[in-house]
Amino acid sequence: MFSSHLELTRKPVTGCQVLLCVPGTYCSPEVFDLLDETLFPDLQLLPISWMTSPGPWDIPTLGRRVAALLRELDLAPL
């Protein structure tokens, strides 16, 4: 787990473009396993399992944690 306290369901691969997938409330991140990655050959799908991460889970806190995760993964804009 990252210092953002968010859990990814897949391990990031260095050098790959990332599509960060944030499931809705009570929606498992496994829903993204249904996506055919051949549709996105240049992207790595990284689902967040935010409801299994420590709370609170309100929208402002989750937004800050996703922003922190983007920085941790070096995906944040400069």
Candidates 13, 74, 68; CA nearest to 43 is 13
Tell me how far apart the alpha carbons of residues 14 and 57 are, in angstroms, rounded to a whole number.
28
**Please, are residues 55 and 6 in contact by the beta-carbon 8 Å criterion?**
no
How far apart are the C-alpha atoms of 70 and 28, rounded to whole Å?
21
CA dihedral 10, 11, 13, 16 (to 10 degrees): 30
Instruction: Please tell me the pTM assigned to this model.
Output: 0.79
Convert the pLDDT of each residue in 21-74 to its tens digit.
998 888 888 888 878 777 888 888 899 998 888 888 899 999 999 999 999 888
The C-alpha angle with vertex 37 and arms to 36 and 40, in degrees rounded to 5, equals 120
